[in-house]
Amino acid sequence: MKNKNIIAKLKTSGLKGRGGADFPTYLKWQAFLDANSDKKYIVANGSEGEPATLKDSYIVKNYPADLIAGLKLALELSPKNSQAFIYLRKDYYKKYKKHLEKIIGNLPITVFREKGGYLSGEETTLCQEIENKIQRPRIKPPYPVQVGIHGRPTLINNIETFYHVAQIAKGQYKKTRFYTILGKALHKGVFELPLDYSLEKILKSTGNFPTFDYFLQVGGGASGEIILPKEIKRKATGSGSIVIYDKEKTDPWTLMLGWINFFMKENCDKCTPCREGTYRLREMIRDQKIDKKSLEDLFFVLENTSFCALGKMVVLPFRSAIKKLL
């Protein structure tokens, strides 16, 4: 029996994907339902390769039954021989596989270990990995919801998204999200709090509001935006992570060098804009010499011509750090 009713509930809830792209969940589920195929795939993405993001691990550990209930709802919308995956980074796989499999029982859900690295979580690379192919992104469109794993329609949502889908189905969705708070925080960890909380309210309600001169990185520990104290009425973005930095004790050049080393290590070298762009950006950061015109040209090329999301995401942390911290 197809539980099409869930899509109407998703629409009413206003749920958006929690992997960072903020896409309305009901639209993706509707496209998945509409795609014509006798076999479909569903993936809960728990790659979580962004530094300073721990929420997916927290959900798998604390709410595995809800995650699986979310996947089951998607399976109910799919043809009979469809297959779901819980796609986990290596350390999560090692920790949670056995426990997840106990709850899964006879459902057609496989706990899958990704190859590793930031790119593993990119949705077309994820399809490649499940097909046991080279870890490289594919061109979009077509999007995986139309042409995904083995060319079949594939619904890929973040682990947190499936958790909330289960809450919505039970009528227990409280319009919350999971925030990871790290850095110079007194109470580091993952907190489930209302979606509409400002950064200030999140920090205050978790006992993490800094008593020193600080700045934040919000939305991911590499790709997140730098936020100054005067901006903390804003809401968290991206993966919902908040890293607190002590302004006095943080050298912005060292911080940026860490990010660019991360992006250079994690990119796949497939496309010139990202491969060469990150290399040139690293040169500027390493030499502590920013030529504004070249930098903006570089950002333009990265944002507009990178083959996949990784290259496009490089820009935000550097643009905000250079503007606000130097």
Residues near ligand SF4 (CB under 6 A) are 119, 137, 267-271, 274-275, 306-308, 310-311
Read off φ and ψ for residue 95, nearest 5 degrees.
-70, -40
Min dist CB 122 to ligand SF4, Å, is: 7
User: Least distance (Å) from ligand SF4 to the CB of residue 268?
Assistant: 4
Rg over alpha carbons for the chain, rounded to the nearest Å, is: 20
Question: 118 or 245, CB closer to ligand SF4?
Answer: 118
Min separation Cβ 160 and ligand SF4, Å: 23
At a CB cut-off of 8 Å and minimum separation 6, what does 186 contact?
207, 208
CA gap 211, 207 in Å, rounded: 11
Least spacing, CB of residue 131 vs ligand SF4, in Å: 17
Smallest distance, ligand SF4 to C-beta of residue 277, A: 9
Q: Which is nearer to ligand SF4, 232 or 310 (CB)?
A: 310
Q: Give ∠ CA 11-119-112 in degrees, rounded to 5.
A: 75
Give 85 or 118: the residue with its C-beta nearer to ligand SF4.
Answer: 118
CB of 267 to ligand SF4, least distance (A): 4
For 118, how many CA atoms within 13 A lie in the half-sphere containing its CB?
A: 23
Residues 6+ apart with CB under 8 A from 91: none
| Alpha-helical runs (H) found in 150-240 | 159-170, 199-205
The Cα–Cα gap between 147 and 22 comes to 21
Question: Strand pairing of 225-227 and 214-218?
Answer: antiparallel
Task: State the Cα–Cα distance between residues 78 and 84, nearest whole angstrom.
Answer: 10
Of 269 and 283, CB closest to ligand SF4:
269
Distance of closest approach, residue 53 Cβ to ligand SF4, in angstroms:
18
Q: How far is the CB of 311 from ligand SF4 (least distance, A)?
A: 3
Given the complex with ligand SF4, which of 93 and 118 has the nearer CB atom? 118
Spatial CB neighbours of 280, under 8 Å, sequence gap ≥ 6: 294, 298
Residue 321's nearest CA partner among 199, 207, 247, 226 is 226
Q: Which is nearer to ligand SF4, 138 or 235 (CB)?
A: 138
Nearer to ligand SF4, 68 or 274 (CB): 274
Min dist CB 224 to ligand SF4, Å, is 18
How many whole angstroms from its chain centre is CA 154?
A: 17
How many angstroms separate the Cα of 13 from the Cα of each of 64, 124, 176, 200?
Answer: 22, 27, 11, 25
What tokens does 319 get?
Answer: 């643009």
C-beta of 136 vs 235, nearer to ligand SF4: 136
**Dihedral, CA of residue 23, residue 143, residue 260 and residue 287, to nearest 10:** -110
**For ligand SF4, the closer CB: 184 or 270:** 270
